[in-house]
Structure 1
Amino acid sequence: MSAVEIISTVLVLVGAAVALTASIGVLRFRDTLSRMHPATKPQTFGLLLVFSGAGVRLGHNVDVGMLILAGLFALITAPVVAQRVGQLAYREQRADSGLTRSPTEVPTRDE
C-alpha cells in the first residue's frame, strides 16, 4: 500500500465515523433545535473528509473539481437550511422551552 492510499483510506474512514456519530446525535437529541447541530456541522465535516479522501485517491483527475464543487455546495447550503429549520421550529413553538428562554428569565415551577 502506498502513502496516498493510506491517507485516502484514513480520511474516508474518519469522515464516515464523524458522519455516523452525527446521525446518532440526530436520533438521540429530543427536539428540533438540539438536532440542528449534529445535522449540520459534524455531518458536513464528515462529508468534507470523505470528499478529501476521494480527492487524494483520484490525484490529478478531472473529477476532483466536481468533489470541490460538491463540498462547497454542502458548506454553503447546510447553515442556510439549519437557520430556516430553526426559524420554523421557533415560530411554530416546537422548541424545548429551556432552549428558547433568555438567560435572565427565572424558570417557573411548571417548566
Structure 2
Amino acid sequence: MMFDRYPRYEGFRDTPRKRSAVLRKQKAEREALPLFADQVAALQPSVDEVMTRRAQRADVVEVERRQFTAKWWRIARHTYFGLPAEQKAKVQVRWHRWWGPRNSSCLLYLCSQAKAEQL
C-alpha cells in the first residue's frame, strides 16, 4: 500500500522572534485596559513560562495528531480489506494511478466510490 509519509516532528523551537511576540501581546493586553494595567501585568506569566507551556503543548498536540492519523489509517485499511475482491482490485488500480495525496481520506474516498459503483 503506497502512502505519503507523515512529516517528522522537529520539536518546539524557542526563538527570539517568538519571545518578542509574547512581549508584544502582553503589552497590548495591558494597553487594552489602561486603568487596570497593574492588575493585568500581575496576572501575566513570564516569557519563560509561556515558552515552557508552548513546548509542552506542542509535544501533546503532536502525539494527538499522530494518534488521529493512525486511527483513520486503521479505519481506511479495515474498509479496504473488507471489500469484495473485484472492488478491491478497482480500488488498487485507482490507488496506483492516484495523483493526489496518498492519505487515509483519499483511500476511503476510493473505497466509497467502488462501493457506490456496485449499487
Into which bin does the TM-score normalised by the smaller protein fall? 0.3 to 0.5
TM-score, scaled relative to structure 2: 0.33
Larger Rg, first or second structure (1 or 2):
2
